[in-house]
């Protein structure tokens, strides 16, 4: 498994969709719709806290069946990680090396973000193709795209 650092950038608009669902409905879908062939799966929750004038980012990794527990900690931004596809992307490794999770194919899930106008719409998205900034070598995240399509199908009643 190759890990892509900040020398790589997105080459497409990416893929994504919006939806409306409760925390419990999302957890149920995550536990049932993710394809077994790429499991097991975890969520990397991204907790951003204002510390004085600066924001600090904390990453918390947990099994997908703990989605509601992570939401109870006020986490609204997550990355869905397949251990089969991304076993090297541990939280300590990502922090130490400043690795972009989306650039490595992980699927972004945002749910429950509070903004000035209320709670923002929930969404799932991914970067399906990246390219090296100097060599223009491209990489397609085909397996993560298959996972994304499974989630899109499972969330269809909520869109």
- Model pLDDT for residues 64-88, shown as the tens digit of each residue: 999 999 999 989 999 999 999 998 8
Domain that holds residue 100: 9-158
Q: For residue 1, what pLDDT is reported?
A: 60
Question: Number of H helices and number of E strands within the chain?
Answer: 5, 11
The answer as to whether 1 is a domain residue is: no
Instruction: Kindly state whether residue 55 falls inside one of the protein's structural domains.
Output: yes
Which pTM does this prediction carry? 0.90
Q: Give, in order, the Cα–Cα distances in Å from 43 to each of 26, 51, 128, 150.
A: 12, 24, 19, 16
C-alpha–C-alpha distance, residues 110 and 133, integer Å: 28
Whether 145 is covered by a domain: the verdict is yes
Within-domain flag for 21: yes
Cα 115 to Cα 130: distance, rounded to the nearest angstrom: 30
Provide the number of structural domains found in the chain.
1
Q: Does residue 100 form part of some domain?
A: yes
What are the pLDDT digits (tens) for 41-58? 999 998 877 788 888 878
């Amino acid at each position: 498994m190759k890990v892509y650092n900040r020398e790589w950038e997105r080459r497409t608009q990416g893929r994504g969709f919006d939806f409306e669902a409760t925390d419990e409905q999302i957890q149920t879908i995550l536990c049932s719709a993710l394809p077994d062939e790429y499991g097991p799966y975890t969520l990397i929750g991204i907790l951003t806290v204002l510390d004085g004038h600066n924001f600090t980012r904390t990453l918390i990794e947990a099994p997908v069946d703990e989605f509601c527990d992570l939401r109870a900690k006020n986490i609204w931004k997550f990355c869905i990680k397949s251990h089969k596809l991304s076993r090297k992307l541990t939280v300590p490794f990502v922090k130490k090396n400043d690795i972009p999770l989306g650039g490595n194919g992980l699927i972004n899930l945002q749910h429950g973000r509070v903004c000035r106008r209320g709670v923002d719409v929930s969404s799932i998205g991914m970067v399906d193709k990246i390219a090296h900034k100097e060599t223009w070598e491209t990489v397609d995240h085909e397996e993560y795209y298959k996972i994304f399509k499974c989630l899109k199908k499972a969330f269809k009643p909520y869109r």
